[in-house]
Structure 1
Amino acid sequence: MISDESKQHRTWNNIKINNDTYMVSVIQKDNTIKVLLTNLIEIWMDTLTKEIILDRCRKLNPLLNIEDLNYYDVVLNILNNMSRNIINVSVEHIKLRAEVDGGIMKFDVNLTKGTSQDFWEIITKPLCISSMEISRQHKFLLDLVKKKDEEISEYKAEGAELIRKNIETKRFKEEQLKITILDPNIIDCINIFQSAMNFYNVFNLYEYNKISEESTSSNSSNNDDTQETVQNRFVQNDGKNICNSEDTTVQRITESVHSEKKKQNKDTTSKKVTRNKIGTANISYRPPKKLKKGLYEPIL
């Protein structure tokens, strides 16, 4: 089955601690809330169950009747609007306060430093997966643009002429993408990190939905094989399985590219068959150039 970590979306928001920029994320699953804090070097976290939340609320709010409040949802709302409710903050403690029905609700987040495995699982792994997918898409798009240029050149050689000159493009050169990468500051790194994590969330949701559909359409007799396939579609938590998972990911990417190429070849064949029947507002055909006196190059 798919790990719960794979289905979770993490949104990271900026937070200032001693004039340094950190990022905080709040994840809610079932009856547990996780608060994550990072500076992209280390990570701190606090895991809050309903029991921990209730006990902490009672100690911090002795004058409030916590049982009469929907305390779990109230605390979740306070955490999700953390920047608005902070009264004191450090990497170990975040003190919060918000108005609720019946008075003021106080709540503390007590953070402990995570391990290197925690940092890998929460920060490094999603970035690696995002980079792998962005790299695959980059290569695919470059190949596609180059083939489109070749296709356009072939049309022009056969007599096609673009009517709307304002949409005409120059032939693509890969050197256009080469730039000098400047040394980024912490704000640049944070912005890129947040962008990469948003990409990971969207890509991960797409992968999860696709796998769920495949699992639903499978016969019950193939459940074991389906679960094994599902698990291999994601990078494994165990370091020993990372290489196997990467091989599976590369294989999936290769199959995707081959499938796309096959589709392109099919489309190209279809275009050749119907070429004489094409009529659009943007392309017209000129008579082909003469090869010899009295002869024209045939149009296929």
Structure 2
Amino acid sequence: MISDECKRRAWNNIKINNDTYMVSVTQKDDTIKVFLTNLIEIWMDTLTKEIILDRCRKLNPLLNIEDINYYDVVLNILNNMSRNIINASVEHIKLRAEIDGGTMKFDVNLTKGTPQNFWEIVTKPLCISSMEISRQHKFLLDLVKRKDEEINEYKAEGAKLLRKNIETKCFKEEQLKITILDPNTIDCTNIFQSAMNFYNEFNLYEYNKTSTKSTSSNNDDTQEMVQNRFVQNDSKNICNSDTTVQRITESVYSKNKKQNKDTTSKKVTSNKIGTANISYRPPKKLKKGLEPIL
């Protein structure tokens, strides 16, 4: 599973030596991570509060760093990196921003990441996005085709559309087939950002859904633990008293009897519903002069 700070990673364009790169800044607890990529390689820098404080002191000797909220100031500078860049390379990015009381400087020292880092941060989210987009594409195509069949069925039964301005032509899959041009660098970065935004939204939804299931599972586990303890306590009592055995036996018998009665009741209800479905008849044709609304 992707770590929590990677749940929502936004990417922004920056220029380095007239080439387009993308940078992302994530923050979790007291650690900030900076990622830089050209979709071929990746560079990164991990900033703890101690590292940030040390860099701020060295780069801003005239500022009393302890008197300002240096961590939030640096985070704001990093989140607006393209606006605050003075000089940049793939290993070193110099930043400067105006703050109350003067100017704040900060440097990002990047190291080249491994292929595994590139997979986790760039390739894997893109693959997940592509898989989900492909699934949604197939689902929507099937839905549109079935909607067309449904509309044709209505028309065959004599229904007419009153609002002609919303009428659509029958969908043909060939309409989606186009010639794909060779994308340039800007096209690739835009597509990458779009795919990552889709991944962020989809991944956050899946994470929330998983968290809900996990909470429910934990509740079930807690109930099971309580039940197990109850059974263990009863087992100790059984060893000491024949009356307890009789009481539990009667309780189980009564519970089974009630379950059998409920099952029988459900079967009767189910049969009634089935009979109702079988006796269903389609509505009569509309009288002359009336038109059903689609």
Band of TM-score, shorter chain: 0.7 to 0.9
1:80-128, CA deviations, whole angstroms, 9 ceiling, x for partnerless residues? 1111111111101000111122221110000000000000000000000
1:124-159, CA deviations, whole angstroms, 9 ceiling, x for partnerless residues? 000001001100000000000000010011111111
CA contact (8 A) 2:160 2:293 kept: no
Comparing 71-80 and 280-289, the one that deviates more: 280-289
- Unpaired runs of at least 5, structure 2: none
The CA RMSD measured in Å over matched residues stands at: 14.7
Comparing 252-261 and 282-291, the one that deviates more: 252-261
Q: Distance in 2 between matches of 1:232 and 1:277?
A: 40
CA contact (8 A) 2:6 2:26 kept: no
Q: Distance in 2 between matches of 1:243 and 1:120?
A: 60
1:188-222, CA deviations, whole angstroms, 9 ceiling, x for partnerless residues? 00000000001111111111111xxxx44667775
Q: Is the alpha carbon distance of 1:262 and 1:228 closer, same or farther for their aligned partners in structure 2, counting shifts above 3 Å?
A: closer
Matched position secondary structure for 2:259: helix
Q: Distance in 2 between matches of 1:113 and 1:254?
A: 70
For the pair shown, which has the larger CA radius of gyration, 1 or 2?
Answer: 2
CA contact (8 A) 1:159 1:287 kept: no
Runs of 4+ that moved beyond 6 A: 223-245, 247-295, 297-300
Q: Is the alpha carbon distance of 1:188 and 1:85 closer, same or farther for their aligned partners in structure 2, counting shifts above 3 Å?
A: same
Q: Is the alpha carbon distance of 1:278 and 1:28 closer, same or farther for their aligned partners in structure 2, counting shifts above 3 Å?
A: same
Instruction: Please report how far the alpha carbon of residue 227 of structure 1 lies from its aligned counterpart in structure 2 after TM superposition.
Output: 17
1:22-54, CA deviations, whole angstroms, 9 ceiling, x for partnerless residues? 011111111000111100000000000000000
- Unpaired runs of at least 5, structure 1: none
Q: Is the alpha carbon distance of 1:42 and 1:269 closer, same or farther for their aligned partners in structure 2, counting shifts above 3 Å?
A: farther
Matched position secondary structure for 2:160: strand
CA contact (8 A) 2:238 2:244 kept: no
Give the aligned length: 293
Q: Distance in 1 between matches of 2:189 and 2:249?
A: 31
Q: Distance in 2 between matches of 1:287 and 1:31?
A: 66
Matched position secondary structure for 1:218: helix
Q: Is the alpha carbon distance of 1:72 and 1:22 closer, same or farther for their aligned partners in structure 2, counting shifts above 3 Å?
A: same
Q: TM-score, normalised by structure 1?
A: 0.71
Q: Distance in 2 between matches of 1:181 and 1:167?
A: 30
Q: Is the alpha carbon distance of 1:287 and 1:206 closer, same or farther for their aligned partners in structure 2, counting shifts above 3 Å?
A: closer
CA contact (8 A) 1:163 1:281 kept: no
CA contact (8 A) 1:233 1:248 kept: no
The 5-angstrom pairing of residues 273-292 of structure 1 reads none
CA contact (8 A) 2:14 2:21 kept: yes
Matched position secondary structure for 1:62: coil
1:150-195, CA deviations, whole angstroms, 9 ceiling, x for partnerless residues? 0011111111111111211111100000011111111100000000
Instruction: Please report how far the alpha carbon of residue 275 of structure 1 lies from its aligned counterpart in structure 2 after TM superposition.
Output: 24
Q: TM-score, normalised by structure 2?
A: 0.73
* Greater fraction helix: 2
Matched position secondary structure for 1:279: helix
1:204-260, CA deviations, whole angstroms, 9 ceiling, x for partnerless residues? 1111111xxxx4466777579999999999999999999999x99999999999999
- Cross-structure match for 1:153: 152
Comparing 105-114 and 158-167, the one that deviates more: 158-167
- Cross-structure match for 1:243: 239
Q: Is the alpha carbon distance of 1:239 and 1:52 closer, same or farther for their aligned partners in structure 2, counting shifts above 3 Å?
A: farther
Q: Distance in 1 between matches of 2:235 and 2:115?
A: 12
CA contact (8 A) 1:159 1:288 kept: no
CA contact (8 A) 1:163 1:283 kept: no
Comparing 233-242 and 52-61, the one that deviates more: 233-242
Q: Is the alpha carbon distance of 1:134 and 1:55 closer, same or farther for their aligned partners in structure 2, counting shifts above 3 Å?
A: same
Q: Distance in 2 between matches of 1:118 and 1:252?
A: 63
